[in-house]
Amino acid sequence: MPLDLDFVRSQFPALAGEWAYMDNAGGSQVLRRVADRVSDYLLTSNVQTGASYAPSQRSLQRVSQTRDAFARFMNCDPGEVLEGPNTTILLRFLSEAMTGRLQPGDEIILTNIDHEANIGPWLRHEARGVTIKWWRCDPETFELDLDDLRILMTERTKLVCVTHASNILGTINPIPEIAKIVHSVDADLVVDAVAYAPHRAIDVKGLGADYYVFSVYKVFGPHHAVMYGRRDKLEALDNIYHYFFDKARVPHKLEPGNINYEAAWGSIGAVDYVEELGQREGAAEGRAAVEAGFAAIAEHERTLSERLMDFLLSRNSVRVIGRTSTAVEDRVSTLSFTVGEESSKRIVEAVDAAKVGIRFGDFYARRIVEEHGLMARDGVVRVSMIHYNTLEEVDRLIAALEPNL
C-alpha cells in the first residue's frame, strides 16, 4: 500500500504553510506529538531525577523510557543507548573515552566522504602519536572501494570511522561488509548514521557496528542525539564523568552532565510515530512496526528520488554527485549536483522564489568538496527529501530549477 500522505503530513504542523521543505538532511520538521511531549515534561515533571520523592521518581521513569524506545528503534539493549545534544558532541565524548585504548603507533582509518563530526575528534589523537590513515573515495564515482580498506588495515589498526549514508552523496555504504573487514583485525567500527536514520530501519546487531550514532532532530524530533555502543565496548572505555563514577557504570559515565530531560522524553514521540506507520501497514507493535514503518518510508522516498533524478539526468549541464541509481538499497533521498561552471549559490537562490527550501555548500563534509574541486562553484546544490514530501513538491522544484539549468 502507498504511504498515507494525508495522515503523514497531518502529523507535522509546519507542513500546513506555503513552503516545501527539501533541506531535511539539515534538520527535519518536528512532529506535533514530539512538541506535545516536550511541553508536557516541562509543565508536569520538570524536576531532577534520582531523589526519593514521587515527582522525581516519575521524572526518572520518563527519562529512562527513552532508552527503551531507542533500543527498539536500533535493535539493541537499553543499557547500550547513550544520549546527548547532537552527534558531534557524542562523537567527541566517544573519542575522549577512547584515549586509554589508543596508544602511540596505533592506527585510525578515516574516510574523506564523512561529515567532519566523524573526522575531527579522531584527528586529535594524532598529536599523541596515533597514526591517521585515509580511506579515500574514487574521484570519478565517489565510491569507497572495500579492497582499498583491506589494504589499509594492519594489526595496529584500532578504529575505522565511516558514514552509513553520505549527507552529500546519499550513497548507502555496505556497513556489514565493512564490519567484517574491520573485525578481522579486532578493530572497532564507528558509524555516523545521521544521514541514514531518517530513511531506513536500523539494526545495529545485524550491521555489526560497535558504535552507531545519529541526531534525533534529523528524525522528526527535537535537538537530541543517541548513540549505540556494544555493552562490553562501553564498559572498557574511560570514564569521562565525575571521578567517583565506576568504570563499568554505563551509559552514565559517558554522559557528562545531565542529558536534556525534556528532549529525551519528547524524542520518544519520533519512535512512536514510526511504529504507528508500521502498524498502519499491518505490523504488530514494537520492532516489527519500526521495520514496516521504514519499509513504507523507503518506498515512497524512492519514488521522489526517481522523479528528481530522471529530470537531473535529462539535463546535459548537470553533474549528479554520487550514484544515479534510486534503488532503495543504493541510496537515500538526498541528491546533490552541480551545473557546469555555475555557482550553486545562484541556483539555490533562484529556487527560493518558488518557496522550495533547498541548500548549497559543503554541509560540513568539506573534505570531499575541497578535494574534488567543488568549492569553486560554492559547493554543491543539495536536495534532501524525506517521506513527508510529495511528488507535487518535487514537480514544483523541477519547475523552479528548469530555467536555471
Q: Per residue in 206-219, pLDDT tens?
A: 999 999 999 999 99
- Return mean pLDDT, the chain: 97
Residue ranges, CATH 3.40.640.10, the chain: 34-270
d(CA 79, CA 250): 7
User: Are 166 and 194 contacting, i.e. CB atoms less than 8 angstroms apart?
Assistant: no
Mean pLDDT for the stretch of residues 62-76: 97
Mean pLDDT for the stretch of residues 92-102: 97
The cell for 50 is 534520582
Q: Give 322-360 pLDDT, tens digit per residue.
A: 999 999 999 999 999 999 999 999 999 999 999 999 999
What is residue 2's predicted lDDT score, i.e. its pLDDT? Answer: 86
CATH number for the domain running over 34-270:
3.40.640.10
- The residues near 386 (Cβ < 8 Å, ≥ 6 apart) are 24, 28, 198, 199, 301, 333
Mean pLDDT for the stretch of residues 254-273: 97
Mean pLDDT for the stretch of residues 256-265: 96
Residues found in the chain: 405
In eight-state DSSP terms, residue 23 is B
Q: Give 374-397 pLDDT, tens digit per residue.
A: 999 999 999 999 999 999 999 999
DSSP string, 99-142: GGG--TT-EEEEESSS-GGGTHHHHGGGGGTPEEEEEPPPTTT-
The CA-CA-CA angle for residues 176, 156, 87, to 5°, reads 50
Mean pLDDT for the stretch of residues 51-76: 96
Integer distance in angstroms from the first to the last C-alpha of the chain? 35
pTM recorded for the entire structure: 0.97
Mean pLDDT for the stretch of residues 27-55: 97
d(CA 146, CA 124): 26
What confidence category does residue 39 fall into, taking pLDDT thresholds of 50, 70 and 90? Answer: very high
**SS3 state of residue 282:** coil
What is residue 93's predicted lDDT score, i.e. its pLDDT? Answer: 98
Which runs of consecutive H residues, i.e. helices, occur in 155-230? 175-183, 204-207
What confidence category does residue 81 fall into, taking pLDDT thresholds of 50, 70 and 90? Answer: very high
Query: Does the pLDDT value for residue 1 go beyond 90?
Result: no
What confidence category does residue 362 fall into, taking pLDDT thresholds of 50, 70 and 90? Answer: very high
Query: Does the pLDDT value for residue 371 go beyond 80?
Result: yes
Question: Long-range contacts made by residues 20-23, C-beta under 8 angstroms, separation at least 24?
Answer: 20/355, 20/356, 20/357, 20/389, 20/393, 20/396, 20/397, 21/357, 21/389, 22/356, 22/357, 22/358, 22/383, 22/384, 22/385, 22/389, 22/393, 22/397, 23/357, 23/358, 23/359, 23/382, 23/384
pLDDT over 90 percentage in the chain: 98
Residue ranges, CATH 3.90.1150.10, the chain: 5-30+288-404
The closest of 80, 87, 118, 121 to 102, measured between CA atoms, is 121
Query: Does the pLDDT value for residue 248 go beyond 90?
Result: no
Q: Give 158-198 pLDDT, tens digit per residue.
A: 999 999 999 999 999 999 999 999 999 999 999 999 999 99
User: Are 158 and 107 contacting, i.e. CB atoms less than 8 angstroms apart?
Assistant: yes
Pick left, alpha or beta for residue 155 (phi over 0 → left; psi -120 to 50 → alpha; otherwise beta): alpha
Sign, Cα dihedral of 163, 165, 169, 171: positive
Span 5-30+288-404 CATH architecture: Alpha-Beta Complex (3.90)
The cell for 173 is 555504504
User: Are 92 and 83 contacting, i.e. CB atoms less than 8 angstroms apart?
Assistant: no
Mean pLDDT for the stretch of residues 41-65: 95
Q: Give 265-323 pLDDT, tens digit per residue.
A: 999 999 999 999 999 999 998 999 999 999 999 999 999 999 999 999 999 999 999 99
What is residue 247's predicted lDDT score, i.e. its pLDDT? Answer: 80
